[in-house]
Chains A and B, each alone.
Chain A
Amino acid sequence: ETGVTQTPRHLVMGMTNKKSLKCEQHLGHNAMYWYKQSAKKPLELMFVYSLEERVENNSVPSRFSPECPNSSHLFLHLHTLQPEDSALYLCASSLSRGSEQYFGPGTRLTVT
Chain B
Amino acid sequence: AQSVTQPDIHITVSEGASLELRCNYSYGATPYLFWYVQSPGQGLQLLLKYFSGDTLVQGIKGFEAEFKRSQSSFNLRKPSVHWSDAAEYFCAVGVPNNNDMRFGAGTRLTVKP
Contact = CB atoms under 8 A, between A and B. Distances in A.
A interacts with B: yes
Interface of A: 4, 6, 31, 33, 41-43, 45, 48, 50, 55-56, 90, 92, 96-106, 108
B87 interface: no
A103 B44 contact: yes
Interface residues of A: mostly helix, strand, loop or mixed? strand
B41 A108 contact: yes
Nearest to A103: B43
Contacts of A42: 103-106
Give the interface residue-count category, chain B: 20 to 34
Contacts of A48: 99-100
A98 B43 contact: no
A88 to B, nearest CB: 8
A104 B99 CA distance: 17
Contact of A97 (B42, B99, B106): B99
Minimum-distance CB pairs A-B, first 8: A103-B43, A43-B103, A48-B99, A103-B44, A105-B43, A98-B96, A42-B105, A97-B99
